[in-house]
């Protein structure tokens, strides 16, 4: 591989990425408010109209959510995600902190690259998995943990390993690790609301066959209750799904841009774009041969944070019905082939610059 010895050159901050992150954070706060307002309006108009039209009974539903309580709940959720999000990510994967004695080459490389990038030295954790991958998580630059799988250490040589570590440090330098930890809260909440309402709706339909209202004097009232439950659930599923799509789309578009920025940062830090290109090529090939079951175990809700994507069906598993297909969304990462091509172009530009 062509490259030059790394010096204390640091990692240039990607201003374009930081601007996108600011917009993303603003939308993370705005989206839940819009979600509640739209859901409130939909339930207050559609449910009474449908119920009255089908049964002749006015349910008198006027859902109102206290805006102050709503803002408090949103802020509490963001603070909770900021405080505990990195720990939950590490726990979900059984990531184990390592010492210098256990993995001296790995921890030494992380320390050296962090010093060159003018960053606090992150903690290092290992995930026992044959699938090669890595990611960074943490609330601040000073509390970052770089996580690598045993498969990555087995698959890459020293230069490729350093390039991947530099990629993760570039995420830390751009501060997008913190933002992405918080950003995942919104699509998670809206997805849980949508799937919960979907489950309730299925339960109601399955329960209808057990109802016998033919000799009930209050048959219209019972029918009205059923209609209210069914229509409320349908409206909730519809609104939550729309906002889930929007929030997940936002999240994934941020993910795609941040990967290109981290690739550039890694190439700048190591001075060897081809090492990262070679690492991505190796990781991509190994992941394609990894069974979906193993990839799901490696996911842990942090799929978008990895240096390379985990390509498996996220919204359906073992034949169960899924709410939506992953094909509706852009991938969490740019195409690996495109990233490799960009890195090779950077290597050519670097050689041209050095030769002049």
Catalytic residue among 168, 259, 286, 303: 168
Residue 40 falls inside a structural domain: yes
Rounded percentage of the chain residues whose pLDDT exceeds 90: 33
What pLDDT score does 209 carry?
Answer: 52
What's the domain count of the chain? 1
Residue 316 falls inside a structural domain: no
Task: Please give the helix or strand (H or E) that residue 145 lies within, else none.
Answer: strand 145-149
pLDDT of 78 over the 60 cut? yes
Residue 10 falls inside a structural domain: no
Residues near 311 by beta carbon (within 8 Å), at least 6 away in sequence: 287, 288, 295
Cβ 149 vs Cβ 127: under 8 Å: yes
Q: Phi and psi at residue 46, in whole multiples of 5°?
A: -70, -45
pLDDT tens digits, 269-322 = 999 999 999 999 999 999 999 888 888 888 766 777 899 988 755 444 444 444
Cβ 12 vs Cβ 267: under 8 Å: no
Residue 76 belongs to domain spanning: 15-311+322-355
Distance CA 202, CA 99 (A): 50
What pLDDT score does 321 carry?
Answer: 44
Residue 125 falls inside a structural domain: yes
Model pTM? 0.75
Give mean pLDDT, residues 198-211.
59
Residue 218 falls inside a structural domain: yes
Distance CA 338, CA 335 (A): 5
What pLDDT score does 124 carry?
Answer: 97
Give mean pLDDT, residues 326-354.
83
Residue 245 falls inside a structural domain: yes
What pLDDT score does 319 carry?
Answer: 42
Cβ 332 vs Cβ 255: under 8 Å: yes
Residue 99 falls inside a structural domain: yes
14: left (phi over 0), alpha (psi -120 to 50) or beta: beta
Residue 19 falls inside a structural domain: yes
What pLDDT score does 329 carry?
Answer: 56
What pLDDT score does 328 carry?
Answer: 53
Is position 303 annotated as part of the catalytic site?
Answer: no
pLDDT tens digits, 177-195 = 877 777 666 666 666 666 6
pLDDT of 14 over the 60 cut? yes
pLDDT of 24 over the 90 cut? no
């Amino acid at each position: 591989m062509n490259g030059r010895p790394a010096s204390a050159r640091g990692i240039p901050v990607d201003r374009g990425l930081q601007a996108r992150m600011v917009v993303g954070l603003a939308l993370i706060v705005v989206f839940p408010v819009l979600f509640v307002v739209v859901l409130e309006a939909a339930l207050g108009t559609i449910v009474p109209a449908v119920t009255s039209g089908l049964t002749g009974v006015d349910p008198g539903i006027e859902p109102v959510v206290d805006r102050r309580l709503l803002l408090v709940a949103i802020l509490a959720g963001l603070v909770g995600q900021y405080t505990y999000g990195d720990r939950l990510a590490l726990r979900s994967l059984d990531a184990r902190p390592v010492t210098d004695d256990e993995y001296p080459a790995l921890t030494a490389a992380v320390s050296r690259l962090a010093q060159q990038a003018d960053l606090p030295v992150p903690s290092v954790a290992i995930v026992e998995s044959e699938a090669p991958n890595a990611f960074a998580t943490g609330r601040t630059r000073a509390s970052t943990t770089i996580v690598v799988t045993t498969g990555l250490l087995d698959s890459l040589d020293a230069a490729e390993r350093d390039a991947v570590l530099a990629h993760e440090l570039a995420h830390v330098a751009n501060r997008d690790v913190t933002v992405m930890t918080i950003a995942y809260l919104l699509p998670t909440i809206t997805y849980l609301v949508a799937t919960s309402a979907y489950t309730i709706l299925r339960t109601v339909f399955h329960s209808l066959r057990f109802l016998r209202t033919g000799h009930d004097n209050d048959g219209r009232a019972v029918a009205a209750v059923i209609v209210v439950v069914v229509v409320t659930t349908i409206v909730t599923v519809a609104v939550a799904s729309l906002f889930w799509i929007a929030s997940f789309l936002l999240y994934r578009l941020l993910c795609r841009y941040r990967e290109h920025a981290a690739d550039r940062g890694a190439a700048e830090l190591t001075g060897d774009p081809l090492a990262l290109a070679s690492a991505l090529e190796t990781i991509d090939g190994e992941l394609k041969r990894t069974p979906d079951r193993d990839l799901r175990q490696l996911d842990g809700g942090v799929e978008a944070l990895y240096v390379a994507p985990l390509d498996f069906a996220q919204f359906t598993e073992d034949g169960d019905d899924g709410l939506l297909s992953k094909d509706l969304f852009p991938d969490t990462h740019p195409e690996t082939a495109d990233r490799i091509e960009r890195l090779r172009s950077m290597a050519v530009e670097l050689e041209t610059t050095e030769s002049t």
